[in-house]
Amino acid sequence: MTVHFRSLFLNSVALLILFGTFSTNAAAQTASMDYPVALHAGAVYSRLPVSDFEVVQSIGGQELFSQIDARQDRLEFAAFVSQRVWASQSRGYGIYGTLGTALNHPGSVLYLGGSVGFRRTLVTVGASTATIQKGINPVPDQVFRGVSDRSLFAGLERERKWGLMIGLSFVLFE
């Protein structure tokens, strides 16, 4: 979890630098409500499993797969494109239809949902989807009897999974 937190922190700092570089003054921000499309980026939490495998050589010489990462949720940095559905010109907020993807592996995870925006901050809630790998045909591999037993898999299978997501992002361009 420490590696993921560090990555999220570094990406957030990069977002703040971009936000500071490309943002305009407050009067121009309210005038930008005329544009119906927004590009925004931020942190996303999703109840979508993560599964990663590596190829290993068994003692018998057979190539097998070892699971190196298995989590039931993910915290990632993502980019979104949103189409404004409704906006309040006087109060500075709006409702958007949103499509996004994870930035660490673009296209591997898709985010679909709705966003509520106030000024240059959007909160997105919806669904996430990805193709998840799953090991099939487990093969026990014993290095020493009773010590370092591990389950290896003879093959991998892919299946599409769906999960709920929530994100907090900041508008880069509108």
| Alpha-carbon 168 to chain mean position | 12
Residue 166 belongs to some domain of the structure: yes
Residue 149 belongs to some domain of the structure: no
C-alpha pair distances (Å), 171 with each of 30, 42, 48, 50, 122: 13, 9, 25, 28, 7
Residue 148 belongs to some domain of the structure: no
Residue 64 belongs to some domain of the structure: no
Which domain, by its residues, includes 111? 2-51+70-139+155-173
Residues 6+ apart with CB under 8 A from 101: 78, 79, 107, 108, 109, 110, 111
pTM, 2 dp = 0.73
Residue 15 belongs to some domain of the structure: yes
* Local confidence pLDDT in tens for the 174 residues of the chain: 445 555 555 655 555 555 555 544 434 444 444 668 999 999 999 999 988 889 888 677 788 888 888 889 999 999 999 999 998 877 778 999 999 999 988 999 999 999 999 989 999 999 999 999 999 988 776 666 665 566 788 899 999 999 999 999 999 987
Q: Go through the chain and tell me how many residues it has.
A: 174
Helix (H, G, I), strand (E, B) or coil at 24: coil
When divided into structural domains, the chain yields a total of 1
